[in-house]
């Protein structure tokens, strides 16, 4: 439980930093890593039909979803620092981080 709490706190801190960043910079100019375009390209190849404006938790956490997400993440081992960290996601991108609108993925 203590380790999970530490991860959750770190994820919350990252979420605050990234939310401030994406709120203050035009997204077309925002680069979070040197390989953002590669990550997005691979993401869209793997998850062609995944809606990203309003997320369905089942598409992230179900067993079939996990079977796709794990190999996707492993492609970036050694390419992206902390490639395997969880993150807090807003379920609806138009809303703020709240308990009801946030999922740990």
Is 1-104 assigned to CATH 1.10.10.10? no
pLDDT at 76: 93
Greater pLDDT, 41 or 102: 41
At which residue do the structure tokens 């395997």 appear? Answer: 84
* pLDDT tens column, 28-87: 788 878 899 999 999 999 999 999 999 999 998 899 999 999 999 999 999 988 888 777
Taking the C-alpha atoms of residue 39 and residue 45, their distance in angstroms, rounded to an integer, is 10
Beta bridge partners of 5: none
Alpha-carbon distance values, 18 to 27, 62, 73, 75 (Å): 12, 26, 19, 23
pLDDT at 18: 77
Give the pLDDT band of residue 1 (cuts 50, 70, 90).
low
DSSP string of 71-84? HHHHTTTTTSTTTT
Length of the chain in residues, anyone? 105
Q: What is the pTM of this model?
A: 0.71
Domain ranges of the chain: 1-104
């Amino acid at each position: 439980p203590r380790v999970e709490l530490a991860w959750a706190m770190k994820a919350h801190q990252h979420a605050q930093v990234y939310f401030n960043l994406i709120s203050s910079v035009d997204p077309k100019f925002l680069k979070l890593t040197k390989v953002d375009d590669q990550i997005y390209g691979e993401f869209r190849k793997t998850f062609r039909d995944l809606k990203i404006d309003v997320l369905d938790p089942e598409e992230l956490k179900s067993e079939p979803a996990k079977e796709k997400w794990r190999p996707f993440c492993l492609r970036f081992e050694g390419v992206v620092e902390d490639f395997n960290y969880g993150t807090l996601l807003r379920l609806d991108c138009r809303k703020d981080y709240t308990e009801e609108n946030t999922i740990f993925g």
